[in-house]
Chain A
Amino acid sequence: MSVPSPGYAAPVPVLALGDVLLVTLQGDLHDDTAERLRQDLTRRIARHSGGRVTGVVIDISGVEVVDSYLGRVLAEIAASARLLAARTVLTGMRPAVAITLVELGLTLPGLLTALDVERALELLSGPDPAGARAPDAEGGG
């Protein structure tokens, strides 16, 4: 992850599904790419052509290693999206990745999580509890 990519970081495609943005991360993510994704996403949420963005789904089923940097970027994306009134759901985390993150102490308390994209869309289509989030996300921050 620490190998600097020369010059321009390859952009991560961001798909718009109605009022939800879907991002699929694949393989090892360079720090630059993660940084670029953060900027892209915030911009897309703010200037979405099809009206308001209510949710962002980040699918990491293709990611085998999540380090502390990517973990922080994901948390920051969620926090920024929250400021723009969008909920962020992290989906498809592998068991091994979850164990590593917990061992690192990165429990990502600000993020919503779902098993897969389908569940994430289901979660986002439900009512936004806004201040009153799911009990499992409470008090973790």
Chain B
Amino acid sequence: MSEHDAAPGAAAQQVRAFLERRREQIAQRWADAPLFRTVFTVSRDEAVEASKAVADALAAVAASGRLEDITAAGYGTVREQLGRTAAARARTGCSPARIADEVAALRAPAAELLRAEFPDPAAPRAQECLLALALLMGTLRLVVMETALSTGEDLIERQRQQLLEATTPVIKLWDGIIAVPLIGTLDSARSQVVMENLLDAVVAERARYAILDITGVPTVDSLVAQHLMKTVAAARLMGAECVVSGIRPAIAQTIVHLGIDLGAIVTRARLSDALVYALRRLDVEISGPVPAVAGRP
């Protein structure tokens, strides 16, 4: 702490003493603030406990004198507590700005109590203490925002990963026949995962035929077509033949318009047609009516 910080430092200590002395009253008031009230709907005692934890943490930060440092040790303990609270609010559809406002709303009750501590609220000493408290609360707001945002980022990353896994299953349709129903847009990352999963499945299932069903792919551009051709080529190198099925009329037209040559790839209109093709190639006898070939009822 440099010299000109000495006075705010003293004010910080005074704020710490205030926070510790009035802990109970502050917690009672904060428990009624929207931030805690909306999360701890069942028990008010819990809200009071959470508020006390926050007040204690703030006192710890004030004791260290690092009012504007969001990495101060004291915030570590509230980070989790408030992070959970903020996450709970975010789940109910609360915007980060609203949460920040609610955290800011904690300042007024505390400031009111602090002001009551001084016989003359206009005295410089009182002003300094109020300023220190405002700084403290401002930093708390930052900490909450940071926690809320990083929780959001974690969530997005996790969901992205789940989406990647969930949308690229490899299904065994028959001995030696596997299928990959592709759903959603095929980008480089996804097609890489699809290719790896498919090739691993070719080895594991000793597959001779792999069906790539693109019914769930909304659009096919030259990039997607290139990904498809790469996958087909890689499967062929492993000794499996790929059949692409589920090309919708609109997509077929797009492919023709773009001048993409899928001539080297066996294509079928529907997954069932592709399965029939693969079964026939495997010399599996199909008894009973075979589904009509699409377009030729």
Contact = CB atoms under 8 A, between A and B. Distances in A.
Interface of A: 90-91, 93, 95, 97-99, 101-103, 107-109, 113-116, 119-120, 134-136, 138-140
B241 interface: yes
Contacts of B23: none
Interface string B222-240: 0000000010011111111
Interface stretch (B3-11, B71-79, B121-129, B197-205): B197-205
B237 A107 contact: yes
Contacts of B286: none
Nearest to B199: A95
Nearest to A114: B239
B240 A115 contact: yes
B294 interface: no
Given A93-B239, A113-B237, A115-B206, 9 more contacts: A90-B237, A99-B195, A99-B234, A102-B237, A108-B237, A113-B238, A114-B239, A115-B240, A139-B264
Contacts of B264: 109, 136, 138-140
Contacts of A115: 202-203, 206-208, 238-240
B266 A135 contact: yes
Contact of A119 (B233, B234, B239, B266): B239
B175 interface: no
A95 B196 contact: yes
Contacts of A101: 234, 237
Contacts of A109: 264
A99 B199 contact: yes
- In the A-B complex, the 3 residue pairs with the smallest Cβ-Cβ separation, listed nearest first, are A95-B199, A114-B239, A115-B239
Interface residues of B, number: 24
A14 B238 CA distance: 22
Contacts of B234: 95, 98-99, 101-102
A113 B236 contact: yes
A46 to B, nearest CB: 27
Nearest to A100: B234
B274 to A, nearest CB: 13
A90 B266 CA distance: 21
18 contacts: A90-B237, A93-B237, A93-B238, A95-B202, A95-B238, A101-B234, A101-B237, A102-B237, A107-B233, A107-B237, A115-B202, A115-B240, A116-B239, A119-B239, A136-B241, A136-B264, A136-B266, A140-B264
Nearest to B265: A136
B239 A102 contact: no
Contacts of B200: 95
B243 to A, nearest CB: 10
A136 B192 CA distance: 22
B289 interface: no
B93 interface: no
A136 B229 CA distance: 12
B137 to A, nearest CB: 54
B263 interface: yes
Interface string B106-130: 0000000000000000000000000
A134 B281 CA distance: 11
A69 B195 CA distance: 24
Nearest to B205: A115
Contacts of B199: 95, 98-99
A103 B199 CA distance: 14
A116 B206 CA distance: 9
A127 to B, nearest CB: 13
Contacts of B195: 99, 102
Contacts of B207: 115
A15 to B, nearest CB: 20
B230 A102 contact: yes
